[in-house]
Amino acid sequence: MKGLVEWTGGNNLVGINSNGQRIEMNWNDGPSPMQITLQMVGACSVVDVVVGLKDRDFTKVWVELDSTRNDEPPRYFKSMHLVFHIEGDVPIKLAERIVDKAFEKYCSVSNSLRPDCKITSEVFVHESKS
């Protein structure tokens, strides 16, 4: 994997991957690199949930994210709490097991964080709104 991050003036950066796709960042007004990191933990784990539910009848998956960071530099993540929501006919125990597996084994982003970053989660299954 390769990429490039370029300062574009002021507080602005652009991240460009090897396919030329771009992510605009602003370290003061956001999205900042740390905000994007938090969102990518959410995105990575949502991918794992969607893939894990592939044979189930569901219509929507989203995750709410909350985190704490170290007060002093370096301001690394100390904890993250993710609240997963799934709309569909999915047993709660299955959904919880899939989320647990995402963080235990599959989510590359969360597994790239410091080992002392405590990650917790909750799962809610909602009826489909159809």
Q: What is the pLDDT of residue 64?
A: 98
Closest alpha carbon to 122 in 78, 65, 54 = 65
What does the pLDDT read at residue 1?
Answer: 95
Q: Residue 128: what pLDDT?
A: 86
> Is the Cβ–Cβ distance between 125 and 86 less than 8 Å?
yes
Q: Note down pLDDT in tens along the chain; length 130 residues.
A: 999 999 999 999 999 999 999 999 999 999 999 999 999 999 999 999 999 999 999 999 999 999 999 999 999 999 999 999 999 999 999 999 999 999 999 999 999 999 999 999 999 999 988 6
